[in-house]
Structure 1
Amino acid sequence: MYEPLFDYIELYSKSELSPEEKTMIQSLLLPKKLRKKQYFLEEGNVCPFTGFILNGAIRMFSVDSHGIEYILQLAIENWWVVDRQSFINQTPSKYYIEAWENTELLVLPRPNLDPFLEIPAIKAMFWKMSENNHIASQKRVDDAISLSALERYESFVKLYPEMIQRFPLHQIASYLGISRETLSRIRKQSFR
């Protein structure tokens, strides 16, 4: 069960975990299952965990006063899910994190974060993840302000082809900041 996480840590840290480190990681992270449509986090609650997805799909979103959802993250296997601000600062979240498919995760409770980060490979992994997250966030903002809807969709498909199969059109449209109708038109034009 923990092997995908060990592989992920070793890939991102570029170092091998010792048997003792693997045992420590197993003692710090807990298995968790979510049914489709079950919440990992609800708005107003403090995010108690960060989760590594073993299998399944999850979405993170906010809801405005008119009930419109805004997708911040779509995540599948080997992705981490968390409301970082809520998790780190232990403040109420303004987001929902919901299983889009039946999902299995390994979750790290907030009290276990410091011992987890004491493992050298984990520190290196988190540093690399932080870099990648910042680059991806910067690209997403730049794409949103400088690319057409078609270019944003094409970039998304190129970067995340598996997401197209796992999430419905309206959620991908929300993630891209365009209407479902616009995305439908773009997809029809792409198939011609």
Structure 2
Amino acid sequence: MEELIKYILQIGNLNQQQLNLVTQSAIEIALQKDKYFSEAGKIPRQVGFVVEGVIRGCYYNKEGEEITRCFISENSLVVDYVNFEANTISAEYLQACTDCKLIVFSKQHWEDLSQIIVGWDNIKNKMVQLCMYQKSRKGPVVSQDATTRYLEFMENYPSLINRIPLTYIASYLGVTQQSLSRIRKNIR
């Protein structure tokens, strides 16, 4: 919970009693590699904070191909917030790329904090904005050649290169795993 407290205090000010309420509203869970935090076809029911590990956002296109849209690593919120907030069915999966340790709030506990803690809505909104930015930022530009996309990936996500399967990186970059292997070989 210490990591979550540090994260919250970077965004806003809460006293010890308020911080205790936040930590009492959450539980720590382990999410094994390849397991889902939330799934397409279901309504997201929880907000998570990544303590350890990497989660990816992915979906299936019209051709049935799996597309990785983003990576979410330590000290970040993980949630399909638009559908979580609207109570609507998600079109994407949030899947563990590695074994993960998360701090998780149920929808009810997340909403209750707004009723109990003055100023929680402001902190929550800032956390959600960061989450949305992280999920949307630094996507590969399809008009760039694959090598440039990979070099930008290495620059934007240096800590992920050796932590997540190449298939996910290839999917994110919009290339085949064979092409990615060639690119990596040529860069060395």
TM-score, normalization by structure 2: 0.84
User: Which residue of 2 is the match for residue 34 of structure 1?
Assistant: 31
The answer on whether the counterparts of 2:98 and 2:164 sit within 8 Å (CA) in structure 1 is: no
Contiguous gaps of at least 5 residues in structure 2: none
Task: After TM superposition, give the deviation of residue 85 of structure 1 in Å.
Answer: 2.3
| Counterpart position of 1:188 | 185
Question: Aligned partner of 2:60: which letter?
Answer: V
Per the TM alignment, residue 20 of structure 1 is displaced from its structure 2 partner at its CA by 1.0
CA distance in 1, matches of 2:131, 2:57: 18
TM normalised by structure 1 equals 0.83
Distance 1:122 1:175, change over 3 A: farther
Structure 1 residue aligned with 2:99: 102
Q: Between Structure 1 and Structure 2, which shows a larger proportion of helix residues?
A: 1
Contact kept, 8 Å, 2:97 with 2:165, in 1: the verdict is no
Kept in 2, the 8 Å contact 1:9–1:122? The answer is: no
Match of 2:3 in 1: 4
Pair 1:152 & 2:138 matched: no
Structure 1: gaps (5+ residues):
none
Deviation at 1:30, TM superposition (A): 2.1
1:103-147 Cα offsets, whole Å, 9 max, x none, are: 22111222233343455366246326516744873542xx51453
Q: Which moved more, 1:62-71 or 1:149-158?
A: 62-71
CA deviations over 1:53-80 (Å, ceiling 9, x no partner):
1112222211245542111222222122
| C-alpha RMSD over aligned residues | 2.5
User: Does 2:60 match 1:56?
Assistant: no
3-state secondary structure, aligned to 2:162: helix
State the shift of 1:52 in Å.
Answer: 0.4
